[in-house]
Structure 1
Amino acid sequence: MSRLVTWWRALSGPAKFRLYTRCTFHVAIVAVVGGMVAAAASPWSMAVIVFAGLITIAAVDGQPELATFPTVVSRRWTGTALIVTLSVLWLVAAVVVRVADDKAITDDARTVGLFATVLAALAIVPFHRYRWRLLLVISLATGLAFGESLMVGLLLAVGAAATGYLVAGTTLLTVWGLRVVDELEHAKRVEAELQVAEERLRFARDLHDVVGRGFSAIAVKSELAAALSRAGDTERATAEMDEVKTLAVESMGQMRTLVRGYRNIDLRGEVAGARSLLSAVRCRLVVEGDAAKVPQRNHEVAAWVVREGTTNIVEHSSATTATLTLGAAGMSLRNNAPHGATGERSGLRGLAERLAAVGATLDVTASADEFILEIHWEKT
């Protein structure tokens, strides 16, 4: 049981929704089978209905639109098997209704035929290109084949069409919901990739703006100094080379400042970035306390805690709320809906090493409903 619970919690939100959808289809099919079995009178019709229900469940599981995981290989042959099974059942039932003299036998055959029509509307028609035309043809054929008279047949056709359109429409709405979930998950991944790309572009732009101008000036002044030296004006050439040296030192300093600004992180900036990133994944961040309360010597490592903790929330949870607490004695970051056990995460290990370097400690508390990072600035 514990393994099942752990497996369920480790699933992503979209995977859980897909699994729920498949189970819903299974329950619907079982309910239809149960109703038809209750209406059937003979053992052979009951056996046929149960067999057709099992084939339908296999066909639903074989649809790629309903696969719980992207790696699951769709079984197209189950759809073909279902079409053949339901077609044979429908035709045999229609023949029995027309040729049998026993009312009990004709009622059973009619039940089987209507059952085949409902299953077709549930598991075949929604995935066909011309689904609505096909459903209309099936409904008319069902009314004409199983109606005792023309008027009864028309009424039966109308009922079969109404039921079929309702069942097929429900299936299509469910598939549409799955597609929306997939698109949202894809948009989430694309947004994360765009953020990384934007950061790379920002660094490239800053590097070009800061260093490119200095290097260009150095190149021009070096050429001028060489020309002056060849012309015999050594005093001006020396002055130009002094300026080249000054520019080189300034450019190196600007590059160090740029790289340091890229590598070092600011606590307030990280809190703002965490709020923005978590908001993009539908998680609300609540900040308690103020960055000013954190000791100045711990600002940088606190910023790393916020960054790594935010990454941990995005990658290892389906959190809807997170709380960041900042104080003079320590800080904490907690979130709901974690995925499974903590395991060995390199990010947390690296964070613990950063904290140990400044004399701070990291405590991780993981439960089924909450994940907590708690930091104390001084060992106690």
Structure 2
Amino acid sequence: MPGPTKFRHYTKLTMQGAVAVAVAAISATGDGLGAWAVVGIVIAGIATIVALEAQPELAAWTNLRFRHWAIPTCTVVLTALWAVSAVVANIASSESDVDEARVVGLAAALLGTLSLIAFSRFTWWIVVAVSAATAVSFGAPAGTELRVFATALVLSAFVVATTLLTVWGVRIVDELEQAKDLGAELQLAEERLRFARDLHDVVGRNFSAIAVKSELAAALSRAGAGDRASAEMDDVKKLAVDSMAEMRQLVRGYRDIDLDSEVAGARSLLSAMGCDLIVEGDPDRVPLEVHELAAWVVREGTTNIVKHSTATSATLALGPAGMSLRNDGVVGPVRERSGLLGLAERLATSGARLQTTASDGSFVLEIHWENT
């Protein structure tokens, strides 16, 4: 999973786990709670967990149908529990029943604040209204309404503030991921602009000269100055040959990669995703004739780690007879990757051999070029 998705899963499961623990603790340690009160609190906890699962800010997967029925259903369940508890608190003759109704009603109000009100548009106004309604409904005996209101308001405000800060953290992680993607896109656009500028500077002038000289040669030919027209066409031919050579040189420089630069780039890229790269050996130990080949191995191997693992550690070993790139954090079964297949084909044309092994959550990419 990408980092933001994992963080969203962690955040959601943490909140749901906290709700489950709180419900279990209240049900197990509540003095004198009857069976109906325990059942009510458990139902409120289940509704809260389902509502958190359906909130778009916390959902790591998109299921609009689930959200359409889950949030309204949970709202109805929690509201019904609160209303039933309020009725019981006002009509019950037994003090224990009144106390149980207050516990269930307050739990329903707080859990609804956590899973529903905190994600609504008018959060704070609804918090004040629910706290006031709770004070009026559960404030008996007379004179305790203000105390119940203050208690409900403080607890609800704490729950809302905690939830909003949590959601804010999730959004920050999303924005950082988007910024990273945008930075990569900008780098790619910059490189394309650089290549276009170099292409224009290198070839544009020669093409302009070819156009002018071709037009001049045509004019001289029509005027009967065949010798001068022939000389101009010779210049056109020379310019065309020079342009082709400069074009090849430009493209070759654009496509060539350097082993030292690729190792430095791999260390920087893996560090950004939380993976430490350990380099054993030195790029100078790699034979010069396979430097470019080794650079391609480092580039493709690093891409493979970023795309297909959750590695926290990687080791790059360089030697005169071959190289290897090992990483941990392999997720699921290892399948053939198109990038590695392309790399194997590139190595085969140079006489080198590629070997991959996967065991105990680690993946090893080995290259041997001792016979090249």
TM-score normalised by length of structure 2: 0.90
Corresponding letter in the other structure for 2:326: R
Classify 1:263/1:81 alpha carbon distance in 2 versus 1 (closer, same or farther; 3 Å).
same
Q: What is aligned with 1:294?
A: 286
Matches within 5 A, 1:1-380: 11-38=1-28, 39=30, 41-70=33-62, 74-378=66-370
C-alpha distance in structure 2 between counterparts of 1:288 and 1:78, whole Å: 54
C-alpha distance in structure 1 between counterparts of 2:65 and 2:185, whole Å: 28
Give 1:287 shift: 3.7
Classify 1:41/1:320 alpha carbon distance in 2 versus 1 (closer, same or farther; 3 Å).
closer
* Alignment check: 8 A CA contact 2:48 2:111 kept: yes
Corresponding letter in the other structure for 2:342: G
C-alpha distance in structure 2 between counterparts of 1:71 and 1:305, whole Å: 40
Higher relative contact order (CA 8 A, sep 6+): 1
* Alignment check: 8 A CA contact 2:331 2:361 kept: no
C-alpha distance in structure 1 between counterparts of 2:64 and 2:272, whole Å: 29
Equivalent residues, number? 370
- CA deviations over 1:304-337 (Å, ceiling 9, x no partner): 1012112112212233444333221222223343
Q: Percent identity?
A: 57
Give 1:150 shift: 4.8
Runs of 5+ unmatched residues, structure 1: 1-10
C-alpha distance in structure 2 between counterparts of 1:303 and 1:50, whole Å: 59
RMSD: 2.5
* Alignment check: 8 A CA contact 1:363 1:374 kept: yes
Give 1:135 shift: 1.0
* Alignment check: 8 A CA contact 1:146 1:153 kept: yes
**Tell me, what secondary structure is at the counterpart of 1:232?**
coil
User: In terms of mean alpha carbon deviation, does 239-248 or 283-292 score higher?
Assistant: 283-292
Give 1:218 shift: 0.7
TM-score normalised by length of structure 1: 0.88
C-alpha distance in structure 1 between counterparts of 2:169 and 2:74, whole Å: 24
Corresponding letter in the other structure for 1:24: T
Give 1:217 shift: 0.6
C-alpha distance in structure 2 between counterparts of 1:249 and 1:239, whole Å: 16
Runs of 5+ unmatched residues, structure 2: none
C-alpha distance in structure 2 between counterparts of 1:243 and 1:367, whole Å: 64
